[in-house]
A and B are shown apart, each in its own frame.
Chain A
Amino acid sequence: MSEDKKAKKPIKKRNRAIMRSAILALLVFAIGYTIYNSVTAEDVEFLRTGDKAPDFVLKDMEGNQHKLSDYKGQGVFLNFWGTWCEPCVEEMPAMDRQYKEFEEQGVQVLAVNIAQSDFEVQSFVDRFKLSFPVVIDKSKSVMTAYNIRPLPTTILVNPEGEIERIVTGEMSEQDIKGFMEEIRPQ
Chain B
Amino acid sequence: MENLQCKCGHINPPGTILCESCGRSLTEEEQNKKLADMRYEGTARRSQTYNKSIIDKIWNFFSSVKVGVSIIALLLVAAAVGTILPQAQYVNVPVRNDATIKAYYADVYGEIGKIYHFLGFHDLYGSIWFIVLVGMLAISLIVASLDRFVPLYRSLKNQRVLRHRSFMNKQRIYAEGDAPADAMQKAEGKLKELKYNVTVDKNGLLAEKGRFSRWGPYVNHIGLIIFLFGVMLRMMPGFYVDETLWIREGETRAIPEAPGYFLENENFTLETYTGEGEEAKFEEAIDRVGSVAKNYQTDIVLYEAPEESLPGATDEMEKVKEHAIQVNQPLKFDGYAVYQMDFRQNELRAMTFDLTNKETEESLGSLTVDLVNPEKSYDLGNDARVDLLGYYPDFSGFEDGEPQTETPIPNNPGFLVRMFTPETPEGEVSFIVIQNTIEPLGDNQYKLTFQGAETRDVSGLTIRKDKTLPILGLGGLIFMIGVAQGMYFNHRRFWIQQQADGSLIMAGHTNKNWFGLKKDLDQVSEHASLPPYTDQQEEIETQEKLKNQQKVEGDELS
Interface residues of A (CB under 8 A from B): 5, 13, 16-17, 20-21, 23-24, 27-28, 30-31, 34-35, 37-39, 41-42, 45-46, 54-58, 67, 82-84, 86, 114-120, 122-123, 135, 137-145, 150
Tell me if B374 and A27 are in contact (CB < 8 A): no
Tell me if B407 and A145 are in contact (CB < 8 A): no
User: Within 8 Å of chain A (Cβ to Cβ): is B56?
Assistant: yes
Query: Which residue of chain A has its CB nearest to the CB of B232?
Result: A34
User: Within 8 Å of chain A (Cβ to Cβ): is B256?
Assistant: yes
Query: Which residue of chain B has its CB nearest to the CB of A141?
Result: B254
A-B contact pairs, 17 of them (CB 8 A): A17-B53, A23-B146, A24-B55, A27-B138, A28-B135, A37-B236, A39-B128, A54-B311, A55-B311, A56-B312, A57-B310, A119-B391, A138-B252, A140-B254, A141-B262, A144-B254, A144-B255
Instruction: Using A23-B142, A144-B256 as known contacts, say yes or no to A84 and B405 having CB atoms under 8 A apart.
Output: yes
Tell me if B254 and A119 are in contact (CB < 8 A): no
User: Within 8 Å of chain A (Cβ to Cβ): is B283?
Assistant: no
What chain A residues lie within 8 Å of B313 (beta carbons)?
56-57
Which residues 83-132 of B sit at the A interface, judged by CB distance below 8 A? 97-98, 126, 128, 131-132
Tell me if B310 and A119 are in contact (CB < 8 A): no
Q: How many residues of B contact A (CB 8 A)?
A: 53
User: Within 8 Å of chain A (Cβ to Cβ): is B139?
Assistant: yes
Query: Which residue of chain B has its CB nearest to the CB of A82?
Result: B408
Give A143 to B311 CA distance when docked, in angstroms.
Answer: 9
Give A31 to B146 CA distance when docked, in angstroms.
Answer: 19
Tell me if B390 and A123 are in contact (CB < 8 A): yes
What chain A residues lie within 8 Å of B131 (beta carbons)?
31, 34-35, 38
How close is A152's CB to chain B, nearest CB, in angstroms?
14
Tell me if B262 and A38 are in contact (CB < 8 A): no
Interface string of B295-335 (1 = CB under 8 A from A): 00000000000000011111000000000000000000000
Which residues 136-179 of B sit at the A interface, judged by CB distance below 8 A? 138-139, 142-143, 146
Tell me if A138 and B237 are in contact (CB < 8 A): no
Instruction: Using A34-B131, A35-B132 as known contacts, say yes or no to A24 and B232 having CB atoms under 8 A apart.
Output: no
Query: Which residue of chain A has its CB nearest to the CB of B129?
Result: A35
How close is A48's CB to chain B, nearest CB, in angstroms?
11
What chain B residues lie within 8 Å of A142 (beta carbons)?
311-312
What chain B residues lie within 8 Å of A139 (beta carbons)?
252-254, 262, 312, 314
Tell me if A34 and B135 are in contact (CB < 8 A): yes
User: Within 8 Å of chain A (Cβ to Cβ): is B466?
Assistant: no
How close is B239's CB to chain A, nearest CB, in angstroms?
10
Tell me if B390 and A57 are in contact (CB < 8 A): no
Instruction: Using A34-B131, A56-B312, A117-B372 as known contacts, say yes or no to A84 and B407 having CB atoms under 8 A apart.
Output: yes
Tell me if A31 and B132 are in contact (CB < 8 A): yes
Q: A20-B56, A27-B139 are in contact. List 11 more A-B contacts (CB 8 A).
A: A20-B55, A34-B135, A58-B312, A84-B406, A84-B408, A119-B391, A120-B391, A139-B252, A139-B314, A141-B312, A144-B257
Give A120 to B409 CA distance when docked, in angstroms.
Answer: 12
Instruction: Using A35-B132, A55-B310, A144-B311 as known contacts, say yes or no to A119 and B232 having CB atoms under 8 A apart.
Output: no
Instruction: Using A119-B374, A139-B254 as known contacts, say yes or no to A38 and B310 having CB atoms under 8 A apart.
Output: no
What chain A residues lie within 8 Å of B236 (beta carbons)?
37
What chain A residues lie within 8 Å of B311 (beta carbons)?
54-57, 141-142, 144-145
Give A123 to B313 CA distance when docked, in angstroms.
Answer: 24
Tell me if A137 and B408 are in contact (CB < 8 A): no
Give A83 to B262 CA distance when docked, in angstroms.
Answer: 25
Query: Which residue of chain A has its CB nearest to the CB of B128?
Result: A35
Give A118 to B370 CA distance when docked, in angstroms.
Answer: 12
Query: Which residue of chain A has its CB nearest to the CB of B394?
Result: A84
How close is B236's CB to chain A, nearest CB, in angstroms?
6
User: Within 8 Å of chain A (Cβ to Cβ): is B558?
Assistant: no
Tell me if A20 and B135 are in contact (CB < 8 A): no
Tell me if B139 and A24 are in contact (CB < 8 A): yes
Interface string of B32-61 (1 = CB under 8 A from A): 000000000000000000100101101100
Tell me if B55 and A17 are in contact (CB < 8 A): yes
Tell me if B373 and A119 are in contact (CB < 8 A): yes
Interface string of B372-384 (1 = CB under 8 A from A): 1111100000000
User: Within 8 Å of chain A (Cβ to Cβ): is B259?
Assistant: yes
Tell me if A83 and B55 are in contact (CB < 8 A): no
What chain A residues lie within 8 Å of B81 (beta carbons)?
none
What chain B residues lie within 8 Å of A57 (beta carbons)?
310-313
Among A17, A45, A82, A137, the residue within 8 A (CB) of B237 is A45
Give A118 to B376 CA distance when docked, in angstroms.
Answer: 10
How close is B362's CB to chain A, nearest CB, in angstroms?
29
Among B235, B310, B393, the residue within 8 A (CB) of A37 is B235
Query: Which residue of chain B has its CB nearest to the CB of A45?
Result: B237
What chain A residues lie within 8 Å of B481 (beta carbons)?
none
Tell me if A38 and B142 are in contact (CB < 8 A): no
Which 6 residue pairs of A and B lie closest in terms of their CB atoms, listed nearest first?
A141-B254, A31-B135, A145-B311, A58-B312, A56-B312, A56-B311
How close is A18's CB to chain B, nearest CB, in angstroms?
9
Tell me if A117 and B391 are in contact (CB < 8 A): yes
User: Within 8 Å of chain A (Cβ to Cβ): is B388?
Assistant: yes
Which residues 404-429 of B sit at the A interface, judged by CB distance below 8 A? 404-408
Tell me if A20 and B132 are in contact (CB < 8 A): no
How close is A153's CB to chain B, nearest CB, in angstroms?
13
What chain B residues lie within 8 Å of A118 (beta carbons)?
373
What chain B residues lie within 8 Å of A20 (beta carbons)?
55-56, 59
Give A51 to B510 CA distance when docked, in angstroms.
Answer: 61
How close is B89's CB to chain A, nearest CB, in angstroms?
12
What chain B residues lie within 8 Å of A141 (beta carbons)?
254, 262, 311-312, 314
Give A16 to B151 CA distance when docked, in angstroms.
Answer: 14
Give A171 to B256 CA distance when docked, in angstroms.
Answer: 28
How close is A114's CB to chain B, nearest CB, in angstroms?
8
